[in-house]
Chain A
Amino acid sequence: MPVTLFLAVLAALSFAGFQLGRSRAVASAGGRLSSLHSVPTYHGFYVAMWVGLPALILFAVWGGLEGSIVNAMVRASLPASMTALSPQEINLIMVDVHNLAYGNISSRVADPALLAAAEHYKHLRSIGDGALAVLMLAAAGMGLQYARQRIQPGLRARNQVEKVVTVFLILCSLVAILTTVGIVLSLLFEAIRFFNKVPPLDFLFGLQWSPQTAIRADQVASDGAFGAVPLFTGTLLIATIAMAVAVPLGLMSAIYMSEYAPPRVRGTVKPILEILAGIPTVVYGFFAALTMAPFVRDVGQSLGLSVSSESALAAGVVMGVMIIPFVSSLSDDIINAVPQSLRDGSYGLGATRSETIRQVVLPAALPGIVGGILLAVSRAIGETMIVVMAAGLAANLSGNPLDAVSTVTVQIATLLVGDQEFDSAKTLSAFGLGLVLFTVTLCLNIIALRVVRKYREQYD
């Protein structure tokens, strides 16, 4: 494979350039290393950069262009009988040419014209590879020559190397940012397509959710109703139950761990709680569906209540358990960040431990804890697996925790599972829901991070 070979050669050359640059810098200093502006290693990196980077850029540009240029040339050389075909068919022929050239199985009987084209293709590719090798070597050599000449004690090698490193880091972070932007944009475009079919107001304020639509004309199906309010209330209900479980338990255990627990207990309990955070949510889902939901139903029945076998309560409680470690470890960190001097000040005035915690530590930590809870809420809203398994799919508009409800995430999952037609309102509605979910969790996260940051500033 020439690519790896090229890169290996380039790496070796750069390494040689590094050695050369370093020793040349040492030599140019004439024994007095302090006369160098930058330490010799930076001179080494400087030369290595000049050897490697231009050649690498050339390689990337070439790699991007070579394929299409060669393709165009091969296509031009095809016999007239083939070039007369439609563009799609020409593309198919080109695929076959590739396959033949690389010895893969091709889809049609190889006729002589095709074989000739494959030969031509291979030939062009090898010429291209050769030319690339020569050009890269030349670029590396010229870079080496240029950098070598510039090595002298006054060269600001460190500044230049660091500038290149900075650019590299910026490029890396750009990849992450652009990916995010891409995700948001694709979500947005699909959602817009959905809102062309279903008016946004109907979607946001409609009270009926039944996304089944007829795909074929002869199918019997409802017309489809895309009012998302039952999903929003379902999500809210389950998230509320989850927070009602997670916040008190998580906060109390954080207070116990950071203020009361002897180091030995803390040393064992904290890792255990963190293991809880590592359990895959599907496993929580089993627990919710197989243990919690029947338990809730049985208890409800023995009390004379009618409980559906998939209840919001079961899902919410299990989700709350899932979030406990999240709340507790965040709160624990924040409580620990409250300066010891505040506690000392309080004890020094004759306050008891519980007075100190209630009146000094918690108020001081409160903004941070609120931020942590908001982050937990956005996790609860985004959680899917537990709800899929325990709360069911019935999009009931109900505030009763004993009913089956459905959430935004569950609907997205079910709408997109299986073979789907990507232009029906049913499928597209998933993107509408996704957009709402994204907006809500984004807002929550922004608020939460702001709150947490503000709190951090207070003590730094």
Chain B
Amino acid sequence: MTAHTHTGTPTRSTGSLAAGIEARAATGALAGAGNKMDAKGVKVFYGAKQALKGIDLEIPDRQVTALIGPSGCGKSTFLRCLNRMNDTIGIARVEGLITLDGQDIYDREIDPVQLRARVGMVFQKPNPFPKSIYDNIAYGPRIHGLASGRDEMDEIVAKSLQRAGLWNEVKDRLKEPGTGLSGGQQQRLCIARAVAVSPEVILMDEPCSALDPIATAHVEELIDELRENYTIVIVTHNMQQAARVSQRTAFFHLGDMVEVGDTEDIFTNPRDERTQGYITGRYG
């Protein structure tokens, strides 16, 4: 861990978290309409090297947005801007405007710690904590004080595991270490862990790259269900997956966003020839 560039004071007031949840309830009325997040002219530098060259992307509420593009084009970098995970990389510098429900997330007022409770993240490699399955899920709710008692916590854990489609497999072994699960189960555990803090947006960076086809199908089903309650941004290298799970697709290339549109359109009728080349497998 190195020094933060953006990190504000790492304190947390549940007040503003609650405000966020209320705001979400308000926008819930016009489900599907409006943008949950909005990026304008986002540039990212790693030291002197520019990784993103000005990205404009709207992320609609309660939809799945897929980010595709060749390796090294900046998909993960962009994803990490959305919950300020880039703050944990010492040399990373972010420019431009990113809003969540109309509020600039790089504003001085915003505490990245609170932001990450609202914008959760699932990583490419499953990374369960070396704790029991139960404690893995309870970790987030505990630090955010989401449960007022033992029973409530049990309920959150059970519900999150059910959401992630893992409940039936682990309900009898909640006390066993999370690291003892199979790769696919671990990844679903990580998704359950992210869901447990009831974020508004879930960012997934190649969540299926370490999984077999069956586990992948599980996770895709899960994403489809989560869409009802959450806004999802997913990075994937698998074109079929992007086509299956997402409503909107953005194509990244060499730090630029080349094209964005409804998934249907992008896959049937791409406007840019680079997009066409990539999705038909001519390169990348």
A360/B125 in contact, CB under 8 A? no
Given contacts A347-B85, A364-B130, contact A262 B3 (CB under 8 A): yes
Interface size, A (range)? 20 to 34
A341/B10 in contact, CB under 8 A? no
B116/A349 in contact, CB under 8 A? yes
Tally B residues with Cβ within 8 Å of A. 36
Cβ–Cβ < 8 Å partners of B90 in chain A? 262-263
A347/B131 in contact, CB under 8 A? no
B129/A348 in contact, CB under 8 A? no
A341/B116 in contact, CB under 8 A? no
Cβ–Cβ < 8 Å partners of B139 in chain A? 346, 349, 351, 359-360
Partner of B1, one of A353, A355, A363, A364: A353
Bound-state Cα–Cα, A360 to B127, Å: 11
Cβ–Cβ < 8 Å partners of B197 in chain A? 349-350
Chain A min CB distance to B156 (Å): 13
Q: Assess whether A354 is interfacial by the CB under 8 Å rule.
A: yes
B129/A341 in contact, CB under 8 A? no
CB-contacts of A342-384 with B (<8 A): 342-355, 359-360, 363-364
Cβ–Cβ < 8 Å partners of A262 in chain B? 2-3, 90
A259/B1 in contact, CB under 8 A? yes
Chain A min CB distance to B44 (Å): 17
Residue of A339, A343, A349 with highest tally of chain B CB at under 10 A: A349
Cβ–Cβ < 8 Å partners of B11 in chain A? 352
Q: Residues 124-155 of chain B: 1 if any A CB is under 8 Å from the residue's CB, otherwise 0?
A: 01011111000000011001100000000000
Q: Assess whether B12 is interfacial by the CB under 8 Å rule.
A: yes
Residue of B with least CB distance to A366: B130
Q: Which residues of A contact B (CB under 8 A)?
A: 258-260, 262-263, 339, 341-355, 359-360, 363-364, 458
Q: Please name 13 pairs of A and B residues whose Cβ atoms are closer than 8 Å in the assembled complex, sorted by A.
A: A262-B2, A263-B2, A339-B127, A343-B1, A344-B127, A345-B190, A345-B193, A348-B122, A349-B194, A350-B113, A350-B118, A355-B143, A359-B139
Starting from the known contacts A342-B129, A345-B129, A360-B139, 20 additional A-B residue pairs (CB-CB under 8 Å) come to A258-B1, A263-B3, A263-B90, A342-B130, A345-B123, A347-B85, A348-B120, A349-B117, A349-B143, A349-B197, A350-B12, A350-B117, A350-B140, A351-B143, A353-B7, A354-B10, A363-B131, A364-B129, A458-B130, A458-B179
